[in-house]
Amino acid sequence: MRSSQKQRRDIHFVRFPFIILLITVSLLVFLNGRLVLALILIFSSLAILIISTGLFTHFFLPEIPPNIMRKILGKAITQGYTPRITVIRIKDGKIIDDQTFPSKFKPNCLVHIDSNSVVICFDQKTGYYILHSGIHHLPRSSSLCAIFPTTIQRLIFGPESEDSLSKSRSGEGLADFHVRVNAAKRTAMNASDGIVVYAKFECFYKIDIGHPNEGFLTFFKDILANNKNAASILPADYIQMYLLNLAIAQWRKICTLKTSGQLIDETPHKLDLDQAAKNGLKCLVYVSKVFLEES
């Protein structure tokens, strides 16, 4: 039996006698003409339940801030004897334990963000804001907009090897061939001598959470506001596409100045992406290999 199922069973096992006993005793006291005593009994029992929940939760998780604790207890009060506290767990830039979560609208829940993730939320009152690691409450007026990992990511754009540009291999389907070649040709560029070269970009990046987040937030505000699929969370690969475009723009400048031979001889190149740094991204891009179309 799974741990969560066992816990639910345990709760059910205790909850049922608690309610039955409380109702029975209160009713008997009431029938004996002690209405006030019956009411005191009911309210004090519920108060003990709430206080003990808060106290024990505090002992288990002392890092929970008081406002979150109030929300948990509020849920326990408003939802009666079965508080269903939804916790969205975000680990390494992804939502876990919740396969049915394409939508960014999941209000009035708790969000637990691990130390390797950062979340951008939108609140109808305060606008966009960033949530860092920890346990947060997502109020009814807020929604999740984007989730990103804060650890160093490694990306490779363009052909992995010469083989990536080769013609259709035996046994390879047409669709697979197009996927492979299109991915490899994303970095195609004309050198100054007119020859097309294909570069392999190796990109390492990290969201700079230690830095004041204004740059990062400003960068994403417009994008999030214009997100075509407004009901869903911004795809995590957005940053990848952004970095690829920046790298290609930089690579284009280099290619216009050098011949294909020079580009190959001077490999690896290091691309300077200042714009990414301004937008709160620590980034390092190398052009590790350059291939010719013929090869």
Partner 1 sequence: MNLSKKSLLEPSYRFTAVLKAILVLASLFILWSVLALISSIYQPLSFRGVAALESRASTSLADSLFLEIIQSYFSIFSVSVLVIIFLAVILGFLWARQFSNGIFPFYENQRPFSVLIKRFFKFSSHKIIDLANFEVLKKFNDLGKQIYGPAVIQILNNASALISKGNDGFRMDTSKGITPVQISSNERLVKILPQLLKDFTINLLAPSSNDLFNSLQFQFTFQVDDLPEKLHHSELQFLASCGYDDWKEILEPIIRLEFNYLLTKKKNSGLEITSLKQPDLDADGENNQSGSQAHSFHGSTIPVVRSRITRNRKRGQYPLVASDLEFISEPESRLAAMEMLQPLINEFIENLERTTIQLFGFIPIKIIHYEIGK
Q: How far is the CB of 147 from partner 1 (least distance, A)?
A: 14
Closest to 115 (Cα-Cα) out of 137, 132, 127, 96: 132
Q: Which of 61, 179, 241, 249 binds partner 1 (CB under 8 A)?
A: 61
60 part of the interface to partner 1, by CB under 8 A: yes
Q: Among residue numbers 213 through 232, which ones bind partner 1 (CB under 8 A)? A: none
Residue 121 DSSP one-character state: E
Distances (CA, A) of 169 to 90, 158, 166: 41, 18, 8
21 part of the interface to partner 1, by CB under 8 A: yes
Is the Cβ of residue 122 or residue 216 nearer to partner 1 in the bound state?
Answer: 216
199 part of the interface to partner 1, by CB under 8 A: no
78 part of the interface to partner 1, by CB under 8 A: no
Q: Among residue numbers 131 through 190, which ones bind partner 1 (CB under 8 A)? A: 133-135, 150-152, 154
Q: How far is the CB of 191 from partner 1 (least distance, A)?
A: 16
**Taking the alpha carbons of 215, 221, 226, 227 in that order, is the dihedral positive or negative?**
positive
CA–CA distance, 241 with 249 (Å, rounded to integer): 12
Is the Cβ of residue 76 or residue 233 nearer to partner 1 in the bound state?
Answer: 76
261 part of the interface to partner 1, by CB under 8 A: no
CA–CA distance, 291 with 285 (Å, rounded to integer): 17
Q: Which stretch binds partner 1 (CB under 8 A): 163-171, 176-184, 190-198, 201-209?
A: 201-209
Q: How far is the CB of 9 from partner 1 (least distance, A)?
A: 10
Q: Is 172 helix (H, G, I), strand (E, B) or coil?
A: coil
286 part of the interface to partner 1, by CB under 8 A: yes
The DSSP element (H or E) to which 68 belongs, if any, is helix 66-78
Residue 234 DSSP one-character state: B
Q: How many chain residues bind partner 1 (CB under 8 A)? A: 73
Distances (CA, A) of 203 to 13, 67, 125, 158, 287: 55, 40, 37, 11, 9
Q: How far is the CB of 131 from partner 1 (least distance, A)?
A: 15
Q: Tell me whether strands 117-123 and 142-149 are parallel, antiparallel or unpaired.
A: antiparallel
CA–CA distance, 118 with 93 (Å, rounded to integer): 7
Q: How far is the CB of 85 from partner 1 (least distance, A)?
A: 6
Q: Among residue numbers 85 through 124, which ones bind partner 1 (CB under 8 A)? A: 85, 87, 89, 91-92, 112, 114-116
257 part of the interface to partner 1, by CB under 8 A: no
Q: How far is the CB of 92 from partner 1 (least distance, A)?
A: 5
* Contact present, 171 and 269 (Cβ < 8 Å): no
Q: Is 284 helix (H, G, I), strand (E, B) or coil?
A: strand
Is the Cβ of residue 125 or residue 270 nearer to partner 1 in the bound state?
Answer: 270
Q: Which two tokens stand for residue 275?
A: 């714009």
Q: How far is the CB of 48 from partner 1 (least distance, A)?
A: 4
